């Protein structure tokens, strides 16, 4: 099967500090992939480079056979904090923005997701708690029929019950051919979903394995991931 | 991919909201000023124009329009500041930069929508002025007589005869280019300083950013003065613009502004496309 995303020899520096070095990564269509790593490992930066909002990198990023940033942006959906809107903006207005701007945004799909997340379209962004805001962001992302979903710590503020419900439903929201790259610290909670695991360590892709292989070799994905850092604090 | 005009409409919608707010504040402040003037000025009710007595209501309307238009300068300046700030916020906003379009085109769309929303504010102000004048004209015989008298004065007639449509168009073009220059130069200052700050080793503290912005500003001012002097020498050549009309004498400045807009606009397009990152906002 042809790769959906190919990253070749990617290096990125900011303020002369090396953040990513010689990153090589390929993702196939239809997979759910965890992007794991410590805080500051470069997970968000990698996602931002893929999404086309971080610049000045060396190497190449190809999504659906194109290097063109504008085209790449049309193929992917990236969790965004919605800070480009004023806090007085209503959810309904944010949805209208998505309807107008993203050709692949499905309003009916959003309506289903909105009901699932219990979101009120008349609520203003300023009235949303962190958890509700995260739910809105997830709903907006999955209402797009994208080829690649980049979910950067999407469940951070969501309560455990809702988190569980959302994680269990993610597989229903994506099309068969679309891929999800998800970074999250709740490894145990997303483990059941995963097809592959990518670990960012020492500024590069330290490991890229299938979830089945990890399960064969270790008790769980969480145990494998924690094992990578064992003894480092001492 | 998102169409240019689709994004333009969205951005214009965002910027027309503060335009309405500025407009409404201007309407309210002009009303308050009129009220204060009316209550503190003796003989305010017995207004006269060229010896023609004017009833109090049309006189108040005319007075209101004069006050309102005087406040336009402050309102327009405030709106220019407000939209320049909003412009730069959008230029570096991850939400907007994720729009499926090249970053250069997003920048163009953003700048043009700011400028058009400014023109929109000016149009709203002009409509208020025009409607007020028409109401006053229609409602008072005294005003009609006064205007007829003014138009028949020789000096006034001569003044109108001097007005040239070419001069007027050059002046409009100059104002448009000047408005665009404001947004373009602010973006240039922002983009160059951001690109430099991102490149320097761990120097993102506010004082360093301020110093870098100050240096970039000095360099821009120096470059603009140098370019203006250079253009001045070219235009002082006798074969250039022999005609002494207003349009001809004002044309060099207009061409200068056009060239500055194009140069700095192109530099901004390249900077945002290649160097200026969206702010991380999760």
Report pLDDT for A125.
Answer: 92
* Tokens linked to B162: 């001097």
Q: What is the pLDDT along chain A (234 residues), one digit of tens a residue?
A: 789 999 999 999 988 889 999 999 999 999 999 999 988 889 999 999 999 999 989 999 999 999 999 999 999 999 988 888 989 999 999 999 999 999 999 999 999 999 988 888 899 999 988 888 989 999 999 999 999 999 998 888 788 888 888 888 888 888 889 999 999 888 888 888 899 999 999 999 999 999 999 999 888 888 888 888 876 755
- Mind telling me how many Å the CA of A48 is from chain B's nearest CA? 8
Average pLDDT on B128-150 reads 84
More confident residue, A204 or B170: A204
Residue A59 three-state SS: strand
Mean pLDDT of chain B: 84
**End-to-end CA separation in angstroms for chain B:** 24
Higher pLDDT, B212 or A208: A208
Radius of gyration over alpha carbons of chain A, in Å? Answer: 18
pLDDT in tens, B236-267: 665 555 555 666 667 777 888 899 899 999 99
- A and B: number of Cβ contacts within 8 A: 97
Residue with tokens 């074969």: B239
Q: How confident is the model at residue B29 (pLDDT cuts 50, 70, 90)?
A: very high
pLDDT of B163 higher than 70: no
Q: How far is A119 from chain B (nearest CA, A)?
A: 20
pLDDT class for B159, splitting at 50, 70, 90?
low
Please report residues of A whose CB lies closer than 8 A to that of B204.
15
CB B89 within 8 A of CB B178: no
CB atoms within 10 A of CB B126: 12
Taking the CB of residue A212, how many other CB atoms lie within 10 A of it? 11
Residue in A14, A70, A152 nearest the CB of B198: A14
The highest-confidence range among B94-103, B156-165, B173-182, by mean pLDDT, is: B94-103
d(CA B181, CA B170): 16
Residue B163 at interface with chain A, using a CB cutoff of 8 Å: no
The predicted structure's pLDDT at residue A60? 94
List the single range of A42-46, B25-29, B178-182, B251-255 with lowest mean pLDDT: B251-255
Residue A50 Ramachandran class (φ > 0 left, ψ -120 to 50 alpha, else beta): alpha
**A142, exposed or middle or buried, with CB in 10 Å at 0-12, 13-18, 19+?**
buried
Q: How many angstroms separate the first and last alpha carbons of chain A?
A: 43
Q: Which residue is closest to B91 within chain A, CA to CA?
A: A84
Measure A68 CA to nearest chain B CA, in Å. Answer: 9
User: Which DSSP state fits A24?
Assistant: E
**pLDDT at position B224:** 80
**Would you state the pLDDT for residue B148?**
79
Condensed to tens digits (0 to 9), the pLDDT of residues B84-95 reads: 999 999 999 999
Q: How far is CA A25 from CA A1, A50, A177, B166, in A?
A: 15, 11, 18, 62
Taking residue A115's Cβ as centre, other Cβ atoms within 10 Å add up to 10
Pairing, β A204-210 against β A196-201 = antiparallel
Residue in B102, B97, B116 with CA at minimum distance from that of residue B14:
B116
Give B31 to chain A, closest Cα distance, Å: 28
Q: Chain A contact for B46, CB < 8 A?
A: no
Separation between Cα atoms, residue B20 and residue A27, nearest integer Å: 48
What confidence tens digit (pLDDT) does each residue in A102-126 have? 999 999 999 999 998 888 889 999 9
pLDDT of residue B170: 81
pTM of the model: 0.88
| CA distance readout (Å), B22 to A51, A64, A151, B119, B264 | 36, 46, 39, 13, 29
Q: Cβ contacts (< 8 Å) between B95 and chain A: which residues?
A: 80-85
How remote is the C-alpha of B181 from its chain's centroid?
10
B98/A15 Cβ within 8 A: no
The pLDDT of residue B23 is above 80: yes
- B160's enclosing H/E stretch is helix B154-162
CB A100 within 8 A of CB A173: no
User: Per CATH, is A5-227 categorized as 2.60.40.10?
Assistant: no
What residues of chain B lie within 8 A of the CB of A57, using their CB? none
Q: Does B161 touch chain A (CB under 8 A)?
A: no
Task: Give the DSSP per-residue string, A120-132.
Answer: -TT-BGGG--HHH
B95, B279, B280: residue with CB nearest A44: B280
pLDDT at B96 over 80: yes
B31: how many CB neighbours lie within 10 A of its CB?
13
Is A69–B9 a contact, with Cβ atoms under 8 angstroms apart? no
């Amino acid at each position: 099967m042809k790769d959906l995303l190919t990253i070749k020899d990617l290096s990125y520096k900011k303020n002369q500090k090396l953040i990513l070095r010689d990153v090589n990564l390929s993702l196939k269509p239809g997979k759910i992939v965890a992007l794991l790593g410590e805080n500051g490992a470069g997970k968000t930066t990698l996602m931002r480079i893929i999404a086309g909002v971080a610049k000045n990198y060396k190497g190449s990023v190809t999504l659906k056979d194109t290097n063109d940033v504008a085209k790449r942006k049309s193929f992917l959906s990236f969790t965004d904090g919605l800070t480009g809107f004023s806090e007085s903006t209503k959810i309904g207005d944010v949805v209208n923005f998505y309807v107008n701007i993203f050709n692949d945004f499905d309003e009916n799909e959003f309506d289903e997701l909105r009901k699932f997340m219990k979101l009120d379209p008349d609520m203003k962004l300023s009235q949303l708690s962190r958890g509700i805001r995260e739910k809105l962001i997830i709903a907006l992302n999955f209402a797009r029929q994208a080829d690649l979903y980049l979910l950067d710590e999407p469940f951070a503020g969501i309560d455990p019950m809702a988190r569980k419900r959302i994680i269990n439903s993610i597989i229903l929201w994506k099309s068969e051919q679309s891929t999800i790259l998800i970074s999250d610290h709740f490894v145990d909670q997303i483990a059941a979903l995963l097809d592959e695991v990518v670990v960012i360590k020492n500024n590069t892709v330290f490991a890229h394995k299938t979830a089945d292989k990890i399960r064969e070799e270790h008790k769980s994905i969480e145990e494998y991931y924690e094992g990578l850092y064992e003894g480092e604090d001492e | 991919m998102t169409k240019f005009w689709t994004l333009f409409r969205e951005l214009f919608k965002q910027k027309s909201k503060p335009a309405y707010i500025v407009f409404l504040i201007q309407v309210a402040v002009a009303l308050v000023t009129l009220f204060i003037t009316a209550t503190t000025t003796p003989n305010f009710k017995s207004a006269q124009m060229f010896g023609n007595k004017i009833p109090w209501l049309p006189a108040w309307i005319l007075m209101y329009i004069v006050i309102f238009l005087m406040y336009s300068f402050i309102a327009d300046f405030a709106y220019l500041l407000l939209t320049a700030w909003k412009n730069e916020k959008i230029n570096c906003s991850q939400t907007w930069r994720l729009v499926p379009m090249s970053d250069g085109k997003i920048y163009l769309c953003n700048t043009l929508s700011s400028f058009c929303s400014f023109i929109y504010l000016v149009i709203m102000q002009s409509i208020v002025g025009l409607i007020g004048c028409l109401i006053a004209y229609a409602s008072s015989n005294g005003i009609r007589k006064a205007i007829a008298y003014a138009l028949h004065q020789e000096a006034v007639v001569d003044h109108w005869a001097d007005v040239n449509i070419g001069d007027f168009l050059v002046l409009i073009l100059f104002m448009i280019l000047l408005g665009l220059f404001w947004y373009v130069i602010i973006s240039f200052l922002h983009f160059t300083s951001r690109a430099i700050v991102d490149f320097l080793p761990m120097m993102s503290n506010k004082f360093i950013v301020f110093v870098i912005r100050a240096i970039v500003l000095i360099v821009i001012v120096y470059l603009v003065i140098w370019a203006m002097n250079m253009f001045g020498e070219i235009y002082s050549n006798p074969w250039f613009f022999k005609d002494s009309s207003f349009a001809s004498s004002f044309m060099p400045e207009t061409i200068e502004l056009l060239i500055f807009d194009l140069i700095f606009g192109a530099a901004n397009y390249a900077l945002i496309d290649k160097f200026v990152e969206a702010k991380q906002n999760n």
